[in-house]
Structure 1
Amino acid sequence: MDIRHLEYFVEVARHKSFSKAAQITYVSQSTISKMIKDLENELGVALFNRNSKYVQLTDAGEILFSQAQHIVSLFQNITTEFESMAKLEKGKVSIGLPPITGATAFAELLGQFRQKYPNIDIVLFEYGSKKVELGIQDGSLDIGVICCPSNNENYEVIEFTQDPLWVIMHPSHPLSQYPEVDFALLADEAFVLYRKDFSLHDAIVDRCRLAGFQPKIIFETSQRELMTQIVAANLGIALLPSKICEQLDPKTIVSVPLADPQLFLQMSIIWNKRRYLSHAARLWLNFVRDHLAQIETHSLMQAADSGGNKA
């Protein structure tokens, strides 16, 4: 017995007609008859007296009817309440992101989302990318914003932004006058690096090895301000995304692009496709997709305008 058996039984009992019940439930009369017959066989009693003129409940049918109406009503109310809840623009979304990225674009996106959905709470957790991935895996985070996502088939991924890393150094550093710096020239430098729970830590170390040296790491941190202060004190160099470098005071810190092959900060939004995602979290992801689509459309229009002006 399932809820459909009871729903069909209730409609037949209410309208005293198999054909009318079939019309209301949008199934064939033979389907209604079979479901009622299955119900009678399961219960071991006849539920209706049938003849060519009318359909009437038996005593057993009367007992079942009083209970079935209540059960069907409860089931329909549950379905309605869930559908209503799904339409409500409220809830909570937990997002993990690395604190050192200085993702201004992401912060602006959060602000726009909050304006559109004021009843959805965004709870942020500052973790390195590796810890964010662990949170996505164990379900403690709904969504992660990470650098250099690992190749994990359990993730859904939206690429958010890509920003080249630049070298930052004291203005008196010999390399500060270069238009760009080859990685091999950093072999003897003291590195202020991201902590090991940041994916960028591994990416920078691997890039140094590709250039033929093991970096000399004097300090590891998750705090961008501390990183820049150490560089400003002329104790070492560091690598930061270009958008952050553009905000630094050139009187205390000089930033120089890296020569090809460049190293990029690839920010991606990830979530676990094998875990339940709340309605609020789905609203957030749809908002991000729409936002990125608008940016892409705007960029294409600008490129087209630029091409037309040149022509």
Structure 2
Amino acid sequence: MNLKALKYAVEVAHTGSFTRAAQCLHVAQSALSMAIARLEQELGVALFERNARGVTVTAEGERFLRRVDLTLQELACARQELGALNQLASGEVRLGFAPMFGMGRLPSWLEQFHQRYPGVRFKALEGGGQEVGLRLESREIDIALMNARRVKPHWRSALVDADELIIGVSPTHPLARHDTLSPECLHEQPMVLLDGRFAQRVMLDEYCKLHGIAFHTVLESNDAPLVLQAAQRGLGATTIFRSNMQASSGLTGIPFEPPQHLQFSLCWRADEHLSLANRRFIEFVTGTILPADARH
């Protein structure tokens, strides 16, 4: 059974197109089509149904290619581990993370890991919790660092952090003199906020709904630096995690009443074999950063 043909078939199943699969693999479409046709002939079953609208995987093909995909991933990991001589002379960690980690814990974690394994490179993609989760499901990333409440049952995970959501305002803002903020303080309050894909906004919306209050949105964005600068310039109050206050000089932090806490998890797909670099990063964070009773 030809290994290239198996790779071609798996890519067609992933992309849903012979043309896109050939482009992703940098091969001629004719060569890809011929290889898959020979594979189907050898197996005695059709892996794909071809029609004018495109390509769909047959029931037999779906079952067969699911196992082939896992086998190819195992083979790729084995090759990577051998090539690195088990010392991580090379490798890549593809990580998705929420914006708060880019301003807080993550840079320190990357620095410490890099000192231990300088040959490993990182591909780090920022996004809201739902976006990061979709990237993990689609294999665009291998590890997700996200709101623990968004962890799916079929993932593996470890709690890696806990934080407190607070209100951030400029020092001259009327709210800056408060020690804590009751729900009434936020009613009709001008706010500059991240959109609903981010934990900071979800938690605020839940808090306001629970207490029957409504704030006034001055600015909504998916760009964290823009939101923070807008708050620093006095356009309105914002939500920020306490761990990010040091990186957001110019803001005064005020806790909610009652306090609003959130946990964060490191997540990865349970049904796939992680590369050595990814496994070492998980081991590093859960074994070096976390206390023993926080692992699960």
TM-score by length of 2: 0.65
Partner of 2:288: 291
The one-letter amino acid of 1:277's match is L
Partner of 1:272: 269
From the superposition, tell whether residues 243 and 88 of structure 1 become closer, same or farther in structure 2 (CA, over 3 Å). closer
Say whether 1:177 aligns with 2:177: yes
Q: How does 1:206-221 map to 2 (within 5 A)?
A: 206-221=206-221
Q: Deviations over 1:162-216 (max 9, x none)?
A: 1111111233333221111112320110221112222332222111101112333
Partner of 1:258: 256
Q: How does 1:93-242 map to 2 (within 5 A)?
A: 93-242=93-242
Q: Deviations over 1:127-161 (max 9, x none)?
A: 22211100111111100111243251111111111
* Equivalent residue pairs, number: 213
**Cα offset, 1:229, TM superposition:** 2.1
Point out the structure with max Rg over C-alpha: 1
The one-letter amino acid of 1:256's match is I
Which SS does the other structure have where 2:192 is aligned? Answer: strand
The one-letter amino acid of 1:172's match is T
The one-letter amino acid of 1:224's match is A
> 2:165 touches 2:261 (CA, 8 Å); kept in 1?
yes
> 2:80 touches 2:91 (CA, 8 Å); kept in 1?
no
Which SS does the other structure have where 1:141 is aligned? Answer: coil
The one-letter amino acid of 1:258's match is F
Q: Deviations over 1:18-46 (max 9, x none)?
A: xxxxxxxxxxxxxxxxxxxxxxxxxxxxx
From the superposition, tell whether residues 103 and 254 of structure 1 become closer, same or farther in structure 2 (CA, over 3 Å). closer
Deviates more, 1:274-283 or 1:130-139: 274-283
Partner of 2:92: 92
Gaps of 5+ in 2: 1-77
**Cα offset, 1:116, TM superposition:** 1.0
Which SS does the other structure have where 2:106 is aligned? Answer: helix
Q: Distance in 1 between matches of 2:278 and 2:101?
A: 22
Q: Distance in 1 between matches of 2:152 and 2:95?
A: 19
From the superposition, tell whether residues 245 and 82 of structure 1 become closer, same or farther in structure 2 (CA, over 3 Å). closer
**Cα offset, 1:228, TM superposition:** 2.3
Q: Distance in 1 between matches of 2:187 and 2:246?
A: 25
**Cα offset, 1:82, TM superposition:** 7.9
Partner of 2:63: none
Q: Distance in 1 between matches of 2:287 and 2:92?
A: 20
Structure of greater relative contact order (alpha carbons < 8 Å, 6+ residues apart):
2
**Cα offset, 1:236, TM superposition:** 1.1
Q: Distance in 2 between matches of 1:151 and 1:289?
A: 17
Q: How does 1:1-40 map to 2 (within 5 A)?
A: none
Q: Distance in 2 between matches of 1:157 and 1:194?
A: 26
Q: Distance in 2 between matches of 1:81 and 1:238?
A: 48
The one-letter amino acid of 1:253's match is L
> 1:95 touches 1:145 (CA, 8 Å); kept in 2?
yes
Determine what percentage of the aligned residue pairs are the same residue. Answer: 22
Gaps of 5+ in 1: 1-79, 298-311
Q: Distance in 2 between matches of 1:151 and 1:111?
A: 26
Q: Deviations over 1:249-301 (max 9, x none)?
A: 4xx532212121x22243221111122311211111111121134xx37xxxx
Say whether 1:282 aligns with 2:279: yes
Which SS does the other structure have where 1:122 is aligned? Answer: strand
The one-letter amino acid of 1:259's match is E
TM-score by length of 1: 0.62
